[in-house]
Amino acid sequence: MAVFNAKKREIECKIVFYGPGRSGKTTNLEYIFKSYKKQVSGEMVSINTEGDRTLFFDFLPMGLGKIKGCDVRVQLYTVPGQVKYSSTRKLVLRGVDGIVFVADSLKVRREKNMLSLKDLHKNLKEYGTSIFKVPLVIQYNKRDLPVPLMSIEQMELDLNRQLKVPSHPASAIKGDGVGITLKECLKLTLISLQKQLKWTQ
C-alpha cells in the first residue's frame, strides 16, 4: 500500500520480488544495488541464513526523482522462496504495489515455479486483491546456465498463459534483463498508482 503525501507531493511504493527458492531474487537486488547507484538511496539490507538463503527479506530503498511533479520513492523487497518460510513470505507481501516474479529457467525447477506462482495467487487473494489486478512482470532467469533449460515458449505456457503480463528472459548474475524487468514493473506500478490515487500535475 503506497504512502502518498499530497502536501509534500511524495509517494512511496513497495515492489516485491517473488518466486521459488534459489531462483535469483536476491541476485536481482544485488545487481540493482551495484548498477543503479544514482537511484539507490540507502544500503541494501539482507536478512539471511548461513547458506545465503533469504530468511526474512532483502530490502533496498530507491529514489526515482520527480515524476509528474511528484517525488517517487520505491522500496524493493525480496521474499524468502523456500517453502517452509510461507508465513514470512506472506508478511513481506503485505501492502505490495507491484511484483516481479522471478522464475527459474532450469528444467528441474519447472514445478517449483508453478507452485510458487500458485502460492502468490493464494496470498494475494487472502489480502483481498488478485494476481490479475496487481502490477506484475515475470522474469525467466538463469538463461546463461549450460544445463537443460526450458524454452521461453514453454515457460510462457506454464506461467503466463492466463496472466498475459510482460515477461523478460534474464541472467541476473550478469545483469542481463534485470534493468528492463524492474523498469517495466515500475512503469506498471506507477500507472496503477496514478489511477488509484488520482495523482496528476
Ligand X SMILES: Nc1nc2c(ncn2[C@@H]2O[C@H](COP(=O)(O)OP(=O)(O)OP(=O)(O)O)[C@@H](O)[C@H]2O)c(=O)[nH]1
Binding-site ranges for Mg ion (CB under 5 A): 25-26, 54
Neighbours of 39 (CB within 10 A): 15
Q: Does 139 bind other proteins (CB under 8 A)?
A: no
Neighbours of 147 (CB within 10 A): 9
Q: Residue 152 and residue 115: Cα distance in Å, rounded?
A: 18
Q: Residue 93 and residue 201: Cα distance in Å, rounded?
A: 30
What separation in angstroms does the CA of 196 have from each of 9, 12, 189, 199? 15, 14, 10, 8
- Judged by beta carbon, residue 51 or residue 128, the one nearer Mg ion is 51
Q: Does 49 bind other proteins (CB under 8 A)?
A: yes
Q: Does 106 bind other proteins (CB under 8 A)?
A: yes
Q: Residue 165 and residue 185: Cα distance in Å, rounded?
A: 10
Q: Does 146 bind other proteins (CB under 8 A)?
A: yes
- Judged by beta carbon, residue 2 or residue 75, the one nearer ligand X is 75
Q: Residue 41 and residue 62: Cα distance in Å, rounded?
A: 5
Q: Where are the beta strands (DSSP E) in 109-198?
A: 136-141, 167-169
Q: Residue 76 and residue 74: Cα distance in Å, rounded?
A: 6
Which does residue 171 touch among Mg ion, ligand X, other proteins, none (CB within 5 to 8 A, set by kind)? Answer: ligand X
Q: Does 90 bind other proteins (CB under 8 A)?
A: yes
Site for other proteins (CB under 8 A): which residue of 37, 38, 87, 133?
87
What separation in angstroms does the CA of 111 have from each of 121, 152, 167, 186, 200? 15, 15, 18, 28, 43
Which does residue 109 touch among ligand X, other proteins, Mg ion, none (CB within 5 to 8 A, set by kind)? Answer: other proteins
Q: Does 91 bind other proteins (CB under 8 A)?
A: yes
Q: Residue 99 and residue 101: Cα distance in Å, rounded?
A: 6
Query: Count of residues for the chain?
Result: 201
Site for other proteins (CB under 8 A): which residue of 38, 148, 162, 200?
148
Which does residue 51 touch among ligand X, Mg ion, other proteins, none (CB within 5 to 8 A, set by kind)? Answer: other proteins
Q: Does 135 bind ligand X (CB under 6 A)?
A: no
From the CB of 48, what's the least distance to other proteins, in Å?
10
Q: Does 173 bind ligand X (CB under 6 A)?
A: yes
Site for ligand X (CB under 6 A): which residue of 15, 76, 172, 186?
172
Positions touching other proteins (CB under 8 A) are 3, 5, 12, 22, 45, 47, 49-53, 55-56, 59, 75, 82, 84-85, 87-88, 90-91, 94, 106, 108-109, 122, 125-126, 142, 145-148
